[in-house]
Homo-oligomer: A and B are copies of this chain.
Amino acid sequence: MFESAEIGHSIDKETYEAEVPALREALLEAQFELKQQARFPVIVLINGIEGAGKGETVKLLNEWMDPRLIEVRTFDQQSDEELAHPPAWRYWRALPAKGRMGVFFGNWYSQMLQGRVHGHFKDAVLDQAISGAERLEQMLCDEGALIFKFWFHLSKKQMKTRLKALKKDPVHRWRISPLDWEQSETYDRFVRFGERVLRRTSRDYAPWHVIEGVDPYYRSLAVGKILLEGLQNALKAKSIKAPTPIAPLGESIDQLSLLQALDLSVHLDKHDYEKQLVSEQARLAGLLRDKRMKHHALVAVFEGNDAAGKGGAIRRVAAALDPRQYRIVPIAAPTEEERAQPYLWRFWRHIPERGKFTVFDRSWYGRVLVERVEGFCTPADWMRAYGEINDFEEQLSNAGVVVVKFWLAIDQQTQLERFQEREEIPFKRFKITEEDWRNRDKWDAYAQAVGDMVDRTSTEISPWTLVEANDKRWARVKVLRTINDALEAAFRKHKK
């Protein structure tokens, strides 16, 4: 895989100097076209052998192009805020917005390679990391990002010569690499595992470009031209992706559905309700104060029919706690900054630190519910969302975040009665809008979407809980009990 990057590529100075001015102008043009269109972000990953000119090339790109539109990020030591979140959080917070370019040093590939070369883990874990990277990049590309991956290569002999030269240069001496490249074995292991990583992660939508790093003219021109061509192609491409042909999800052929199978007649009388509510609230308060909570975070997702009682259920959860212990994030239309990012970005920014609890009042499931039913996104978009959401929740779970998801279900008659009540009671009238009435007409489409959602995203890691919510008391107690059971299970699992 690295053979053709050890054959001594070089460009003579005259050729270089003759080609650079036109390349620079074209890159600047492309960069401003990118800014004007503000249609997609560009992510440039920089990896490879120490001393192969990674930093120098990025510096040069910043000189050639407009550095005001480029964000260079280096991910070395994690801050304590980063350590308290799932590992990918630090990358999500650094993603460039549409129209901008982000250059990532020390990215996910560096992390996995360092870990493997240092022997912190074996191939199985490396392969997990590779799959994670693939899924992340696939998702970013599906969301429109243009990804360039550059691997700067040197032969072992070239590297040794280069390291010797760098050591003498005061401008470079201060740089600290997390790997000890002077050990002969480091190079061998890095190249061996690098090969595995490149082979597995070079995909049509985000291929690797291996650049021989010896000759600065060659490597600069090579990178510049690849960037330019990629940018120009993406800028010329139609703004709307050709619709991917999607095999439709089958509809229930026997009219039986998960929601219909719910027994909505279950209920609690007032006395039982108050007793159980108080007891579950005390249990939740105790669990959140448990010292095992510092290894976990808690996320509760509330979805449900309009007027199913999400707000009331959330208030009963909150009432169990000191307001300093939780945050409630109401999900409404995305802001301008959120629209300039991949879909999941606006949820990642609200993921709690370890020890904390966040309630999502509606959530990332909007894409497979309202956006699907209302046609706000293409079938290809909501179809791939199931997998992206499962990946997302798996990352949360791996980092100790307990994810509890509720669908609060009521029947049409109950909804009608609640709508009417809301219209009559002054301080409830803000809870009912024209849109709520319109959504009622799409009852069956929503039921279908909910069924598909549960089928595809109710996982071992994070199962859906369908809550019979015709009786508000029953619903509130079930919500609290489910959260408590999930937390206890996580604590028990942790103990083992």
Interfacial residues, chain A to chain B (CB-CB below 8 A):
25-26, 28-29, 32, 36, 55, 58-59, 62-63, 66-74, 79-81, 103, 105, 171, 174, 285, 289, 311, 314-315, 318-319, 322-324, 327-328, 330, 335-337, 361, 426-427, 430
Nearest CB of B to A332, in Å: 10
**A25-B426, A79-B80, A336-B335 known; A324+B72 contact, CB < 8 A:** yes
Given contacts A74-B324, A79-B79, whether A289 and B174 have CB atoms under 8 Å apart is: yes
Given A335-B336, A430-B32: A323 touches B72 (CB 8 Å cut-off) = yes
A5 vs chain B, min Cβ distance (A): 23
Q: Report 29 cross-chain contacts, Cβ distance below 8 Å, ordered by A residue.
A: A25-B426, A25-B427, A28-B427, A29-B426, A29-B427, A36-B430, A55-B323, A58-B323, A59-B319, A59-B322, A62-B318, A66-B315, A67-B318, A67-B328, A68-B314, A68-B328, A69-B330, A70-B323, A70-B328, A72-B323, A72-B324, A73-B324, A79-B79, A79-B81, A80-B80, A81-B81, A103-B323, A105-B324, A171-B285
Chain B residues positioned under 8 Å from A426 (CB to CB) = 25, 29
Residues of B within 8 A of A430 (CB): 29, 32, 36
7 A-B pairs with least C-beta separation: A72-B323, A25-B427, A336-B336, A32-B430, A74-B324, A68-B330, A68-B328
Contact, CB under 8 Å: B79 / A323 = no
Beyond known contacts A63-B315, A67-B323, A72-B324: 12 more, CB 8 A cutoff: A25-B426, A25-B427, A58-B323, A59-B319, A62-B319, A63-B318, A68-B361, A72-B323, A79-B79, A79-B81, A335-B335, A336-B337
Cα distance, A68 to B314, chains bound together (Å): 9
What is the CB-to-nearest-CB distance from A433 to chain B, in angstroms, rounded to a whole number? 11
Q: Which residues of B contact A62 (CB under 8 A)?
A: 318-319, 323
Please indicate the chain B residues that have their CB under 8 angstroms from the CB of A174 in the complex: 289
Contacts of A314 in B (CB 8 A): 67-68
* Shortest Cβ gap from A284 to chain B (Å): 12
Residue of B nearest to A340 (CB): B335
In the complex, the chain B residue whose C-beta lies closest to that of A318 is B67
By a CB distance below 8 angstroms, the chain B residues around A171 are: 285
**Contact of A311 with B66 at beta-carbon distance under 8 Å, contacts A171-B285, A323-B103, A336-B335 already known:** yes
Q: Cα distance A243–B358 when bound, in Å?
A: 42
Q: How far is the CA of A327 from the CA of B81 in the complex (A)?
A: 21
